[in-house]
Chains A and B, each alone.
Chain A
Amino acid sequence: MLGYFRRRRDVADRTFRMERRDVLVGEGDRVAALTDGFATIGVVEHRWSTVGLYEVLDGRIAACWLLPLDVRAFDVIWSA
């Protein structure tokens, strides 16, 4: 997972930041979070929203499924 974060940091040249908006918990050990992302890639400022579905194990993140609300825009941003 750290490798994935590192690649995003490199692509966004350290301008990437995240802001949590809302959190949903269910019956089990999974948590969903609506999060906004911001980054300047090239000279263009981007903003997007994702739902992250996190699997929690012993108070730590064991896995994450990232679901962009606008998949096409998300792909365009990160393939730039």
Chain B
Amino acid sequence: MPRLIELIASFDPSKGSSSVARVLWAIRWKLGELLGWDDPLSGLGSRVPTLRDPLPPTYAKPRSRSSIRFPSARSTSPTTKSPRRSLTRPCTALCTSAQTAVLVKPNGPFVTAYMAAIRRFRHLIVYPALMRQGGSCGSAPGRHRRPAPSSPREPALAVAMDRDTAIDLLDRLHHAQNEFYAGGSGAALEQLLAPASPGRSPATIR
């Protein structure tokens, strides 16, 4: 997930492979510059509240890389509100597919007319180029695979655990714990704890 967010956050549609789309984006940024659409005071958190604002403080405070904000200046403009929501879903054990929705709400009749005027450009040129660019980023060689373990503690590959297997393991663990707490030797318990290995500490509890 952090890699996906990093990918989306660094995504710049104005640097895509379609020269026509690049020209249209350049025109859009120039218009924004002239009309002040992309000023910091016109973006998220100023003119329009972020999606994070209504959340309880516990969730509203960015705590990790998965809380990275999308580029705010270009996520919204005085012309539209366009919160972007991304969903991921498991595809296989090796990859994750992503779906992104851009919800557009024009601000006022002028903007409705503006959006109608550029509708053909958006649907025929900009969106297809965006989809191609996004798709090539997400499926570039090596992008879809989970990175190699960064530390010996990180498993090489996450494979979903069967619930019955998990229940069986935890029942044996709790049984062994109860036996130990009642005065047993702890031999059965030790067998259920991962031993230390080179570069890896023994089982820990936090």
Contact = CB atoms under 8 A, between A and B. Distances in A.
B206 A66 contact: yes
A71 B135 CA distance: 46
Interface residues of A, number: 36
B170 A14 contact: no
Contacts, number: 106
A1 B194 CA distance: 10
Contacts of B153: 62
A31 B160 CA distance: 10
Nearest to B155: A29
Nearest to A10: B181
A61 B180 CA distance: 16
A43 interface: no
B180 A5 contact: yes
Interface stretch (B114-122, B123-131, B161-169): B161-169
B173 interface: yes
A5 B189 contact: yes
A35 B192 contact: no
A65 B203 CA distance: 11
A1 to B, nearest CB: 4
Interface of B: 90, 153, 155, 158-163, 166-167, 169-171, 173-174, 177-178, 180-183, 186, 189-195, 202-206
6 contacts: A9-B183, A26-B161, A31-B166, A57-B194, A58-B194, A60-B195
